[in-house]
Structure 1
Amino acid sequence: MIFHRIKSDVVAHLSYFIGSGTEAMVVDPQRDVDVYLKLAKESGVHIKYIFETHRNEDYVIGSKELSHYTDAEIYHGPWPDFKYGNTLKDGQIFKVGTLRVEALHTPGHTPGDMSYAVTDLQTGDSPVLVCTGDTLFIGDTGRTDFGGPEKRREWSEKLYESIHNKLLSLGDHVLICPGHGSGSVCGGKIAEREESTLGAERLMNPVLQFNKEEFINLKVEEEHQYTPYFKRMEKYNLEGPPFMGLSPYVKALSPNKFKEYLDKGATLIDSRPPPAFGAGHIEDSYSIPTARLAMGGWVLPFDKPIVLIVGNQSDVDYISRSYARMGFDNIEAYLGGTIASWYKEALPVKTMSMITPHDLKQSLDEGKDWFILDVRSKEEYESGYIESCKNIYAGLIPTQLKEIPKDKPIAIYCKSGTRSSFVSSILLRNGYKNVHNMLGGMTSWIKANYPYSK
């Protein structure tokens, strides 16, 4: 049996390449499909089937792209009314070499979710693994809010039934292959490890310890964010996205040519670490470090060029691929070399104030009137926060600027300083002057043994 897990870091997306003999299947392929073509070549197989677990909301599915190159048949669940591929029936069986693949309808995250139980007939007649998509994660289960408040309870009940009646009944020994890992917005508390079994989840997954009514109430009350770019993903993954072809081509530009792009209204991403951004950046740029590229989904446009400042030219391909997976095909150029080339042309540079937890604590103790902004999620905030802070999640800042005063110094913090740098850049773009990004975030504050509330 051939098995490969492929991870796309930007949204913690997990896809799977599974094969036997000269045949293979791919579950939930990412948009840039060269990794699967390479695996097929190296493994001496052809890709026979492409299985989708559901209509994804956070990334562009690569099914049509991969089928274009391989002639593989595409299959997905009964909801929504897909404009491509084939609709599965619950219990439908497929053969991939000596593997038996059973499609299981496991609604809940959406009404059309499918899971795929894989049995290796060379070793027995029980499943060895199941691809669960966003129905069951390691340490969590899928969110149930995409149908709106009126569908929340119904979808949550379906999710409970799918997990307990369809998945857990496959056997404790069965490996679980979820659609996302830690960091995905499709779950709340997905574990960092990427290996588990149904038995381990039955025993240790906190959400599976509740009875049916408790589970439903938990899912109904969960709070999740809906990032604006999701709308584009839903459309692409219903109708099929534009053809991508080769990896994105992004032009290297001289400082003056780069400035021409900016003068014409291009959106600028500065992907360097927060201290580098603070030390010197181009006016109106977004601070989106490579570790937090998904934050771009809150602010980036689809309809005008996006250009990059990078700390290392090797980051260009990673950034452009990552954003292409999120549907942004408009990453057009980057500043060649480093930002030093911009400085050397005597082009204007802005700075952003940074503050350490020690300096902030001392200033507070001296009585200075700070507006302290916590930009973490509600769950993170409730685990411990600096006294008298205001909690607004980073992605919501553009729509809640009226909550943030301009007549006070603002100290912004997150867990480590990356999301707070993003928010700092948003405030600077909106005319705020006295903005300070707290380096090290709440992690550093706690390690300094400074007081915090819960």
Structure 2
Amino acid sequence: MLLEKIKTPGLAHLSYLLGSGGQAAVIDPRRDCTIYVEKARAAGLEITHIFETHRNEDLVSGAPILANMTGATVFHGPNPEQPIVYAQTVYEGDCFAIGQLEIRVLETPGHTDDHLAYAMFDSAYPDKAVGVFTGDALFVGDVGRTDFYPNRRKEVAGLLYDSLQKILALGDQAIIYPAHGAGSVCGSGMAEREFSSVGHERLNNPRLQITDRDAFIDAKINENHYQPPYFRLMERLNMQGGDAPPAIMRPRNLTLAQFKDSDADHIIDIRETMAYASGHFPGSMSLPVSMIPAFVGWFVGEGERIALVAADEAQLATAMAHLVRVALDDVVGGYVGVVAAAKQGERLQRIPMIDTHEVNKRLNGNDTDIDQKNWVLLDVRDADERAADAIKDSEHIYVGHLNERWQALDKHRHYTLMCASGARATVAAGWLASQGFDNLDIYLGGMEAWRHAKDTAE
């Protein structure tokens, strides 16, 4: 008997392979899905069932691709918006045998209308569920977001509350297997740990401590969540069925001449933020490889062509995997060698870093090196961070919202970008630089440095 978790880095997506008696099932496969076939075959299992907990918003489902590879049947919940064309619809109470294991369907709407949980039983010990695949209904330390139906906010929050009661009714012994871990955009309060039980969550999950349905609804509708534009693309592909990923999951290597002639819609520098700030190609934006899953969908649209700038080949391969999983993979190639280009006389741009002392001087009007009237300290953290603590007289635009709101900014003004430490501020500054802003700097250390200076002074 086999049950293995397969984690997708960056997206913090969790999928599962389970098997018994020569059969195997996959829960919520990702787009690059050869890994499931390889692991099943290594264990002497045949994939016969593919279960989806819901229509994903943050990545392309690999279910239709894996079905074509294996002949397995895809099972999905009832979707009132549009049928999932590649799946067979299942309902509350449907059961499936995977060798000695039994999978029982629970309808658990709230996060999405089509959401299902799958309770897992061992037929040799049938009294209570061994575990439950909770999708985006219940996480370790959090519950699913309910902001995808803005005109039905209270209704869907109430549906999630009811769905959670179904999961809790399985018993404290049941192990939970969620579809995401910490770092996912599908929840903000997830624990770093990716293992838990219904009983542990009942005792410790903050949202499950709210036992009054109306109070739970109020808490959910007052949460702040962001929806990158690429979510709409994921929703469409996950109803229609996305294409198989590229056969080669690595961009082609570009010479400097090929890179300069690539005519890409976006030049994305995936090196670390300090490397980008120190010297980058004009017109390029900063998106460190580890930040691609969280932010590329804000700035790159469907069908737009991408050229990558990397420090090494490993970065290019990782970036390509991240892009494939969100179907923003029209990559013309990758260039490695910014330093070599500089040695050949290529012009590079830089974005200065400033510290707390310099920010204080500007806030107090004591910096004679800049035009104080045209200076803006622009905070690009999220709304919850901003509400918890902010620097007086700073302005606020969430980093993702700069994808459109940059057009309302005055390119003649001087912007200092800040976040919690400096990483998102560099992404924001890089995006503005790629749109023609040239009077920029970055508050290195950001809010953490500001608080430290304040605590030290006290």
Ranges in structure 2 where 5+ consecutive residues have no aligned partner? none
Runs of 5+ unmatched residues, structure 1: none
Identity level (%)? 36
Matched, 1:250 2:255: no
**What corresponds to 1:111 in structure 2?**
113
- 1:238 paired to 2:239: yes
Task: Establish whether residue 303 from structure 1 lines up as the match of residue 308 from structure 2.
Answer: no
Q: Structure 1 stretch 378-387 or stretch 316-325: which is displaced more?
A: 378-387
Q: Deviations over 1:203-246 (max 9, x none)?
A: 11111122100111121222211111111111110010012253
Paired residues for 1:24-423 under 5 Å: 24-79=24-79, 80-147=82-149, 149-164=150-165, 166-210=166-210, 211-244=212-245, 246-261=247-262, 264-293=263-292, 294-335=294-335, 337-365=336-364, 367-368=366-367, 369=372, 370-401=375-406, 404-423=409-428
Taking the aligned partners of 1:430 and 1:249, their CA distance within structure 2 comes to 28
SS for the counterpart of 1:136 is: coil
Partner AA of 1:63 in structure 2? A
Structure 1 CA distance for aligned equivalents of residues 329 and 74 of structure 2: 24
- Post-superposition Cα deviations, 1:34-83, rounded to whole Å, max 9, x if no partner, equal 22122112222111211000011110000011112211110000014111
C-alpha distance in 2 between matches for 1:304 and 1:111: 31
Q: Which runs of 4+ in 1 moved over 6 A?
A: none
Question: Could you say what secondary structure the match of 1:170 adopts?
Answer: coil
- State the Cα deviation string for residues 353-397 of structure 1 (Å, max 9, x = none): 112234323544563444211111111122222222112110001
- 1:239, 1:138 → 2: CA distance? 30
Q: Is the 8 A contact 1:15 1:26 kept in 2?
A: yes
TM-score by length of 2: 0.93
Alpha-carbon shift at residue 450 of structure 1 (Å): 5.5
The total of aligned residue pairs comes to 447
| Cα pair 2:283 2:436 within 8 Å, conserved | no
Mapping for residues 10-21 of structure 1, pairs under 5 Å: 10-21=10-21
Rounded Cα–Cα distance in structure 2 between residues aligned with 1:438 and 1:4: 43
Cα contact 1:377–1:393 (8 A) shared by 2: yes
**Partner SS state of residue 431, structure 1:** coil
Shift of the 71–219 alpha-carbon distance from structure 1 to 2, 3 Å rule, reads: same
Q: Deviations over 1:246-298 (max 9, x none)?
A: 3434110110111000xx24411101111100111011111001121121101
Deviations 1:184-204 (A, max 9, x none): 222232222211111111111
Shift of residue 18 of structure 1?
A: 1.4
User: What is the TM-score normalised by the length of structure 1?
Assistant: 0.94
Give the Cα separation in 1 of the matches to 2:24 and 2:44: 10
Q: Secondary structure at the match of 2:290?
A: helix
Which moved further from structure 2: 302-311 or 407-416?
A: 407-416
Q: What SS does the aligned partner of 1:252 have?
A: coil
Which range moved further: 246-255 or 55-64?
246-255
Task: Give, in whole Å, the separation in 1 of the partners of 2:112 and 2:148.
Answer: 7
Q: Counterparts of 2:246 and 2:40 in 1: how far apart (Å)?
A: 18
Q: Is the 8 A contact 2:250 2:316 kept in 1?
A: no
User: Deviations along 1:94-141, whole A, 9 cap, x unmatched?
Assistant: 111211111111011111100011112344432111111111111211
Residue 21 of structure 1 and its aligned partner are, at CA, apart by 3.3
- 1:379 match: secondary structure: helix
SS of residue in 2 equivalent to 1:349? coil
Q: CA deviation at 1:416?
A: 2.4
Question: How far 1:145 moved relative to its partner?
Answer: 1.7
| TM-align CA RMSD | 1.9
Q: How many Å apart are 1:408 and its aligned residue? A: 4.3
For residue 156 of structure 2, give the secondary structure of its aligned residue in structure 1: helix
Distance apart, 1:451 and its partner CA? 8.7
- For the pair 1:434 / 2:442, whether they are aligned, the reply is no
State the AA in 1 paired with 2:395. K
Partner residue, 1:2: 2
- Kept after mapping to 2: 8 A contact 1:249/1:332: no
Return the alpha-carbon distance in structure 2 between the equivalents of residues 413 and 21 of structure 1. Answer: 56
User: What one-letter code is carried by the residue in structure 2 that aligns with 1:268?
Assistant: I
Contact 2:32/2:244, CA 8 A, preserved across alignment? no
Deviation at 1:403, TM superposition (A): 5.8
CA distance in 1, matches of 2:264, 2:333: 13
